[in-house]
Structure 1
Amino acid sequence: MKRTQIDIEAVLAQLSLDEKVALLAGIDGWHTKAIPRLGVPSIRLSDGPNGVRGTRFFNGVPAACLPCETALGATFDQDLVRELGQLLGQECKAKGAHVLLGPTINIQRGPLGGRGFESFSEDPVLSGTLAASYCEGVQAEDIIPTPKHLVCNDQEHERVAVNSIVTDRALREIYLLPFQIALGRARPGALMTSYNKVNGTHASEDPRLLRDIVRREWGFDGLIMSDWFGTYSVSEALNAGLDLEMPGMSHFRGPCLIHAITSNKVKEHVVDERVRSVLRLVQLAARAQIPEMAPEVQRNLPATSALLRRAASESVVLLKNEDHILPLSPAKTTLVIGPNANIAAYCGGGSAALPAYYTTTPLEGIRNKAAALSSSLSPPRDLVTFTQGAYGHKELPLLGEQLRAPEDGRVGYTFRVYTESKEQNPARVAVDTLHMTSSSAFLMDYVHPEVKGDLYYITMDGNFTPAETGDYEFGLTVAGTGLLYVDGELVVDNKTNQRQGTSFFGIGTPEERGVIHLTAGQTYAVHVDYGTAPTSTLKVKNVVSFGPGGVRVGGARRIEPAQAVEEAVRLASDTASFDQVVVCVGLNSDWESEGFDRPHMDLPAGSDALVHRVLAARADAVVVVQSGTPVTMPWAPQTKALLQAWYGGNEAGNGIADVLFGDVNPAAKLPLSFPVTLAQNPSYLNYRSEGGRVLYGEDVYVGYRYYDSIGVQPLFRFGHGLSYTSFAASGLAVTVVDTPAIKAASLTLVLTVANTGDRAGAEVLQVYVAPPPTTTAVRRPVRELKAFHKVPLLQPGESRAVALPPISLALATSYWDENRDAWLSEAGAYTVHVVGTGAGNTVSQTFAVHASRWWTGLLGDVSGSTTNGHA
C-alpha cells in the first residue's frame, strides 16, 4: 500500500450507500473492504497479543512468539515491553499486517479465566501502564495496536451471552482504568469490544460505554471494532458507536443495514461517522507502507532470538530460595524430572496461539548450559539426566512431528482434501494435497477454489516408528467426525458416539483415545479419516461458530504412573550420581486457552504427588512451575527453591535455564496474587455464568486489594519476587507539584537504592499509595499500586539516587464518586510506600491533598513520554 493521504471528506462524498455499508465490515477473517475507484485500499488485521499469526489459523507461517502477557507483567519493565512492542511491529510488516489485535488488558479477577494468561495483571495501573508501553513500541513501526477487550471479558464461560453485573465504581477503578491509561498515554488508533454484556447490554452495542465514555469523555477518535463474531445487532451496534464488524462476510451489515437506513432506524449521518473512522484507520495504516494483500514471510533473526531470550529470563519470578540453593552450577550433575521438562509450553491456547519459528524446552535449556562442560570431560559424558516422573498433558502431545511422510520420509504427514466422503465415492480424488507438520488443523481460514462451503473431507497419513516397545495411546479431537487407524486397525472412533467438549473454541469434542501395542523400530501407518463440522452429531449452544471445524491428532507411550514416580524418587535419592535436582511441572495450552475456563486451580493429576515425593527424597530439589495464571502448590512449604516461569515464548527453555544457573539474576515480581486454595480468592463465590449473569461481588477488592483489606496472607502476594542479591531503599522524598487543574498535578519521588549483596542485579520499585486514614466518603483499599519503576543493573555495593518519573496526583489519590459520576481526588493525608525486593525493604512518606476536586476524561502522560500514536 503506497503512502498516500486520502482526502477523507472527498472520498466520503463520493461513496455510494452500498459502498459505505461495505466499508463497515470485513471481507474475510482479516481484511477490510477496498474501494479501488476512490483509492481506498484494503488493510490487514492480525492476531496478537504475544505474536503475529498473520492471516492463517490453518497451516500458518511461523512467527516470533513472545512470553505471554502475565510473563510480561511480571517484568514490571516498561522499556522491555516497549522493545517487544516494536518487535511485534516488525513482525506485522513481515506478515503484511497493518493492525495488530493486542494488547489484551482485561483484569484477572480470579485465577480460572481461560484467557488469563493473555492479560498483564490483576492490577489496573500495572496493566494500563504496560499496555501503553506495548502500544508505543508497536506504533514506533507505524503499526496500529488495538487494546482489547472492552470491557469485563474476564471469563470464557458463556462469554457471548453472560451479563457482567458490576458497580460503576468497580467498572471505573478496576476494569476501565487500564484502557483509560493506555488510551491517554499511547493514543492507539483502534480499540476492540468484548463478547459479553455489561450491566445488561452487550459491550459492542452499549451507547454509554462506546459513545458516552470512550468517544465523548475520553475523546477517542480511533476505530472501534468488534471481537470476531462479537456483533449482535444492526442498528443498536451502529448507533452505539461500533465502526467495524469483524470478521466478514457480514452478518449484520450489508442488506440488513441498508434496510435499517431506509427505514430510518439508522441515520445516514451516523453511518458517515462510522465510515470516517474506517477511513481514518486506512489513512493511519498507510504510514507503514505495507502493500495490499502482501505475502507473509518469516524474519527469524539472531537479534529477535536475543530479545526473546532476555524477555523470557527477565519474566521468571524467584518465589523461594532458602539456603541459597540457587543458582545452580552447570559443572555439576543435574537430574531433571517432570512433565514440563521435555515439552515446550511456550504459549497458551486459542487465538493467542501461533506456530513459532522454533521452541526450546527447559530440558534443552539446561542441557545447553552443560553441553560445553560435558564435551570437555574425559571421557565426555552427559551431565544432565532426564526422567519423566509424570505426564502433565490434558490432551496427548501432538503427533505430527513424530510422523514421517509416506512419500518422501520428511518430518510430518500428508494432508489431503476431498469434496466427497469415501462412502459416497470410493474412487474419489483429492482436490488439494499438502505436507504438514502440526497435527492440529483448525480450518477456520482454509480455502481452496474447489471447496464450496463448510462440508468437505480430509485424510491425514504418516508413518510412526516408536523408539520403545509398549502400549501407545492415540487421541483424536474433532469439530466434525473422525476415525483413526494404525496399520488398518481402527484405534479411535470419534464419529459413532460423540461427546460435547471445549475444543476448537467450544464447538468440538473432547479427545477420544485408543490404545495399541507397538514394537520399537517397527514402522506403522497412521491414517485419519475426518469430516468437517457439518458432519458432527453434536448440538452446540452459546458458542461462536468458527467455520468448518478442525481436527487434532495426538499420541504418546503409556506410562504406569506409580512406576514413573518411583523411578524419579529413586534417581533423586541418588546423591552420589546427581548433585542437583530440578522438577518441572505446570500447565500448557491444553489447560489454559480461549474457549473454556479452568475447572480448578490444581496442577494435572500426578504432578503434586510427584513433587511431594521428590522433595521428601531430596529437600534441595528446585521446583519450576510454568503456568499463565496461579496454580495450587500444596507442597510449597516443603520447597526451598521455587521458580514461577509462565509461558515464555520461543526462548522459554533457555530463559528458565538462564535463571536456574545465574546467568540472569531474577528481578521479576508476581503481577497477580497466588491464593493458597481456589476458595481463598475473592471471586470464588461469584465466578462463571449462572442464569446468564455473573455478579462482580468482590467490587473493587480484586486480588491484593482483597487480601490486604481482610488481613489474609495468600500463598504468594502480588508484587512478590526475590533476587540472588539484596537491596536496601532509603531517603525517600515526596514532592507534590500542584496546579489548579488536578489532572496536571503530579508527585515526584526521589530515593536511594543500594545493592547490599554480592551479585549484580536489577531492582523493581513498586509505589503504593494508602488513602487518608479517616474518610467520610467511601471505604477504600488499604493501598493501591500507582506506579512502578525498574532500576537497571546495580553492582555489588553500588548505591544510586533514583528519581521516578512523575506520578499523576489525580491517579494517585482518586476514587470514582458514583454520586457525581466523576473521579474524586479527596482532601487528606496520604502515605506513599515504595516497596523494594526483600522483607522489610519499604520506605514511606506522607503527603497532603488540601482540597477535594472532581475530574473526568483522560490523564495523558505526565512523565513526558512521546509516541507517534493516533492523535
Structure 2
Amino acid sequence: MSGANFWNTKAIPRLNIPSIMLTDGPHGLRKQGGKADHLGLNKSIPATCFPTAATLANSWDTELIKKVGEYIGNEASNENVNVLLGPGLNIKRNPLCGRNFEYFSEDPYLTGKLSAAMIQGIQKTGVSACPKHFAVNSQETRRMIVDEIVDERALHELYLEGFRYAVEDGKPKTIMTSYNKVNGVYANENTYLLKNVLKDQWGFDGLIVTDWGGNNNRVEGLKAGNQLEMPSTNGMTDQEIVEAVKNNELEEAILDERVESLLRIVFDTHKHTHCTKTISEETQHKMAIEAACKSLVLLKNEGMLPLKDRNQKIAIIGDFADKPRYQGAGSSLIVPTKIDSLLNEIKKSSLNVIGYEKGFKRLGGHSKTLQNKACYLAKQSDIVLLFLGLDEGSEAEGIDRKHMRLSDNQLLLLDKLHEVNGNIVLILAGGSPIEMPFIEKVKAVLHSYLPGQGGGSAIVKVLTGDINPSGKLSESYPISYSDVPSSKIYPGKYLTSEHRESIFIGYRYYDTAKKEILFPFGYGLSYTSYEYKNLIFNGKTASFSIRNTGEYEGEEIVQLYVKPLDRKVFSAEKELKGFVKVPLKPNEEKQIIIPLDKHAFSYYHVDQKKWVEASGEYEILIGASSRDIRLSSKLTKTGDSTVPYENIDVLIYDSCDVHNIKTEDFEKLYGKKMPNSNWDESKILDRNDIVEQSKYGGIFGKCLYALIPFIKNLLSFMKKPITSNNVMFILEMPFRSIARMSGGRMNMEMLDGFIEMVNGHFFKGLFKMIKYKWFIKRGRK
C-alpha cells in the first residue's frame, strides 16, 4: 500500500506481483535515473518537452492534445513507466498561483474537455494517465496544510466539474489527491470527495494515489478510498495499517478492496509497458513544434505582422530570444532532447536581421550598458522584435507569484526602446497573465506562453506568416491585479484560503460585473477574418456556418455560451458550453454543429444536493470570444423551478459585488462559521504543524527558521532561482512529511525528538533522535 522507493511500487516475487513505476509529467516525461526528488532538483533522462498545459489550452484543440498525450505516452512506455502523473487540471482561480502554467484554464468545461483528450492519448499507449490534484488545489502557499474553504455550489460547478469531464470522458485509470484540506478535511482522506463524488457519482473505479508526501492519516485515507501512498515510507505507514486492522479500527474487507484496486492497475499497466517501441527524437520534436504553432496567441497587431517586407531591417532584443523560457519549474521540469533557439531559427528565414542585443539582466537588476546597446541597435532598425517575459524564478511549484508585473528592468528597457523606435513587436514568454501598462507603446503582441522545446521554430513560423496564429486565451487578462475578484484574499491566511467570490472567477466575474478588461476569455487574433451566419438551435445542437473571408488559410476557434435570462438564483452572465476549432482555406465555408451536453442548462442545487436543469428562458450565444458574440438564439426550457437559498440573504452575490465580501455574508453561503485562520503562537508544535512555525519555538527552532530564508537569499544571489524557490518549499512542509519523505532515514520517534528540539527541549529531543537512530541501524521498529 506504499512505495518501494521514490517512484516504484513494491514487487512481491513469490506472488508474481511486479513493481510498477509512476513518474512525473504532465507535458513530457520526467524519469529520474539517479537520485530522486519531487521538485526537479536532480536530473532526469532527456525527453521531449511539449508545451505546458497553459500553452496547449490556448489551442482549444482536443485532437492535437490527444495526439500530444499519445506522443508522451509512447516515450513513457518505452522507458517502462506505467503511470504518468498528469495532466494537471486545477482551476485557475487567481493569476498569481505559481503552478498555473501546469493547468489548462479558469473554465471547468474547457479544462475538462482538454484534460480528457490528453488522458485518452496517454492511455492509448497502455500507460495510465493520472489527473491531478483532486481537488481545489488553488494555491501553492502552505499547500500541504491550507484549508480551502469553498461553498458547495462553487465546489461542484467550478472545482469538481473539470475533474468530472476528465473522469467520465477520459476514463483515467489513476487519479492523484491534493495536499490541501477541502472544507476542513484533507483531500486524501475526504470521504465525500473520494467516495460520494469520485466513485459513487462519477463511477471511477481506478487507483487513487497520494501526492508525494501528501498523506496525513494513513488509515483514514485508506477508509476514504486511497489505495497507494507515495513515496516509500520504509514501512512506517504500512505498520499503521496492520495495527488498525488488529485493533478493529479498520475492516479487513476495506483493506482487501483497496489491495484489489491497486493490483488491477499493476497488472493492467505492466503488460503494456514492457515492450520496446521505436521512438524517433526528430518525429517527437516535430510534434512539439506543431503543438506550439497551434497554441501561440496573437494579442495585438497594428498591421505589423506577418513580416512580409524582407528588406526591412530587424533588430532582435531581449534575453529570452537567445535563452528561451519554454517550461516551468518543479516536478514538471523536463530535460529536453533539444531546444530550438529563436536566434538560430530566424537565421534560417529570409528576414533581414541586423543584430541581437540582450537588453536586460534576466534575473533582475539594472544595466545601463545592456540598455544602451539595445537602444543603439533599435535606432538602426525598421522593426524591433522585443522578447520579454517572466523569468524562471517568477512561477514555479511550491510558490505563488507576488504580483502580475514584468520586472522593472524589462519595463524600463521597453520605455527606452519606444523613445527611439515606435515599431516594436513584443513577444512574451510566461505561463500566466501579466499586467500590460505598456500596451499602447507596442504595435503587436505575440504571446508564446511556455511553448516547449520547439517554441523557437514556432515563433519564427508565425512571425513570418508561414503559420497563421490560431490560439485563443483560455483565461482572462485583467487590466491590473486589483481587478481580480480574489485579489484581496489570495493566497489566504496561515491556515485557510476562503473562496469568498464563490462562482465568480475569471470571465464569470468580469463579464457579469461588466468589468473592463485587457483581453477577454477566448480572445485571439488571426491574419485572416471569419464570417459567422445562420444559427439554428434545435434544443440539443447548435448549427451555423462560418466562412474565411480573408487571404490566409487559418483555423478559427468558435465558442458556444449559454446565457440564462431569468434564472431565480445568482449566476454568471454566461458560461462556456461548447467549442470547436475549424480549419478554413481562403473563401471556404463550412457548416458547423456543436452538441450540448447534460449540464448545458444546469446548475448545482445546494438544497437538493444535485445538478438540476432550471426552468426559464435562455440565449445560445456563438462567438469568437466571451465578449465577441456573433450569433444568438433564444429558447425556453421547462425544468426545475425551485429556488435554493430561500432562507439566506445572498443579495451581495446577486449583484456580483464580490470584491468585499464580509465574513458574515460568506458564512451564510458556506453554511458554517469560518474556522480560525491564524496560528496560535503559544502552541506546542506537533507533527501536523509546518516548519515555518519553528519561529515560535525555542532557540533551535528560531535558528532553523532563520537559516532557510538565508539559504534562499544566498541561492538567489548566486543566480539559482529554481533551487532558491525549492528551498522555501521546506518552510511550508509539515513536520510529518520530513519523516515520510526521508525514505526510512528518519522514523516517527526520531521526528518527535526533532520536534522537541524545535519546541525548546534541545538536549531531550537530541537524545531521543540518537536513541531511535540507533534502533533503525539495528533493524528495530
TM over 0.5: yes
2:472 aligned to 669, 672, 679, which one?
669
2:270 aligned to 251, 265, 286, which one?
286
2:388 aligned to 585, 589, 603, which one?
585
The equivalent residue for 1:323 is 303
Alignment pair present for 1:115 and 2:92: no
1:843 aligned to 631, 639, 651, which one?
631
Inter-CA distance 242–847: structure 2 relative to 1 (3 Å threshold): same
Q: Secondary structure at the match of 2:331?
A: helix
Q: Secondary structure at the match of 1:833?
A: strand
1:739-797 CA-partner distances (Å, limit 9, x unpaired): xxxxxxxx2121111111111111110111101x2222x111000111110002x1211
Letter in 2 for 1:832: I
Letter in 1 for 2:570: R
1:605-625 CA-partner distances (Å, limit 9, x unpaired): 301111122233222210011
Letter in 1 for 2:368: A
Inter-CA distance 837–254: structure 2 relative to 1 (3 Å threshold): closer
2:500 aligned to 689, 693, 697, which one?
697
Give how far 1:853 is off. 8.7
Give how far 1:838 is off. 11
TM-score (norm 1): 0.71
Give how far 1:679 is off. 1.0
CA contact (8 A) 1:29 1:247 kept: yes
Q: Secondary structure at the match of 2:533?
A: strand
CA contact (8 A) 1:359 1:651 kept: yes
Letter in 2 for 1:829: E
Give how far 1:841 is off. 5.8
Letter in 1 for 2:371: V
The equivalent residue for 2:367 is 561
The equivalent residue for 1:822 is 610
Superposed, 1:183-198 pairs within 5 Å as 183-198=167-182
2:462 aligned to 651, 659, 665, which one?
659
Inter-CA distance 330–182: structure 2 relative to 1 (3 Å threshold): farther
The equivalent residue for 2:549 is 756
Q: Secondary structure at the match of 1:844?
A: strand
CA contact (8 A) 2:149 2:182 kept: yes
1:629 aligned to 432, 452, 456, which one?
432
Alignment pair present for 1:53 and 2:30: yes
1: CA distance between counterparts of 2:477 and 2:235? 42
The equivalent residue for 1:27 is 4
The runs of 5 or more residues in structure 2 that have no matched partner are 34-39, 643-781
Alignment pair present for 1:257 and 2:241: yes
Between the two proteins, the alignment pairs up a number of residues equal to 635
The equivalent residue for 2:585 is 795
Letter in 2 for 1:731: N
Give how far 1:344 is off. 2.2
Superposed, 1:713-792 pairs within 5 Å as 713-736=516-539, 747-771=540-564, 773-776=565-568, 778-792=569-583
2: CA distance between counterparts of 1:672 and 1:851? 31
Give how far 1:195 is off. 0.5
TM-score (norm 2): 0.79
2: CA distance between counterparts of 1:851 and 1:257? 48
Letter in 1 for 2:294: E
The equivalent residue for 2:147 is 163
The equivalent residue for 1:346 is 326
Give how far 1:825 is off. 0.7
Give how far 1:733 is off. 1.0
1:601 aligned to 389, 394, 404, which one?
404
2:283 aligned to 292, 296, 303, which one?
303
Give how far 1:218 is off. 1.4
Alignment pair present for 1:834 and 2:622: yes
1: CA distance between counterparts of 2:304 and 2:529? 12
Letter in 2 for 1:787: G
CA contact (8 A) 2:112 2:164 kept: yes
1:364-392 CA-partner distances (Å, limit 9, x unpaired): 3322324xx7xxxxxxxx73410111122
2: CA distance between counterparts of 1:357 and 1:755? 38
1: CA distance between counterparts of 2:108 and 2:480? 23
1: CA distance between counterparts of 2:8 and 2:176? 15
Structure with more of its chain in helix, by fraction: 2
1:708-727 CA-partner distances (Å, limit 9, x unpaired): 11111211111110000000
The equivalent residue for 1:388 is 358
Inter-CA distance 386–78: structure 2 relative to 1 (3 Å threshold): same
1:182-221 CA-partner distances (Å, limit 9, x unpaired): 1111111010000100011110011111111111121211
Q: Greater relative contact order (Cα 8 A, min sep 6): structure 1 or 2?
A: 1
CA contact (8 A) 1:729 1:841 kept: no
2:123 aligned to 136, 139, 147, which one?
139
1:801-853 CA-partner distances (Å, limit 9, x unpaired): 1223x221x22111111001100110122111111279856111122322229
1: CA distance between counterparts of 2:116 and 2:74? 18
CA contact (8 A) 1:73 1:671 kept: yes
CA contact (8 A) 1:626 1:645 kept: yes
The equivalent residue for 1:712 is 515
CA contact (8 A) 1:351 1:594 kept: yes
Give how far 1:256 is off. 1.8
Alignment pair present for 1:573 and 2:387: no
CA contact (8 A) 1:337 1:583 kept: yes
1: CA distance between counterparts of 2:631 and 2:278? 48
Q: Alpha carbon RMSD of aligned pairs, Å?
A: 1.9
The equivalent residue for 1:272 is 256
Superposed, 1:408-419 pairs within 5 Å as none
Inter-CA distance 797–270: structure 2 relative to 1 (3 Å threshold): same
Letter in 2 for 1:807: L
1:551-575 CA-partner distances (Å, limit 9, x unpaired): xxxxxxxx9622322222222122x
Alignment pair present for 1:239 and 2:223: yes
1:33-83 CA-partner distances (Å, limit 9, x unpaired): 112222211111110111111134533210001101010110000110010
CA contact (8 A) 1:231 1:252 kept: no
Q: Secondary structure at the match of 2:322?
A: coil
2: CA distance between counterparts of 1:181 and 1:729? 29
Inter-CA distance 339–786: structure 2 relative to 1 (3 Å threshold): same
Give how far 1:798 is off. 1.5
The equivalent residue for 2:158 is 174
2: CA distance between counterparts of 1:204 and 1:256? 16
The equivalent residue for 1:477 is none
The equivalent residue for 2:742 is none
2: CA distance between counterparts of 1:161 and 1:251? 24
Letter in 2 for 1:369: S
Q: Secondary structure at the match of 1:732?
A: strand
1:580-619 CA-partner distances (Å, limit 9, x unpaired): 2100000133221101111111112301111122233222
The runs of 5 or more residues in structure 1 that have no matched partner are 1-23, 374-381, 395-558, 737-746, 855-871
Give how far 1:393 is off. 2.4
1: CA distance between counterparts of 2:108 and 2:289? 27
Letter in 1 for 2:607: N
Letter in 2 for 1:768: Y
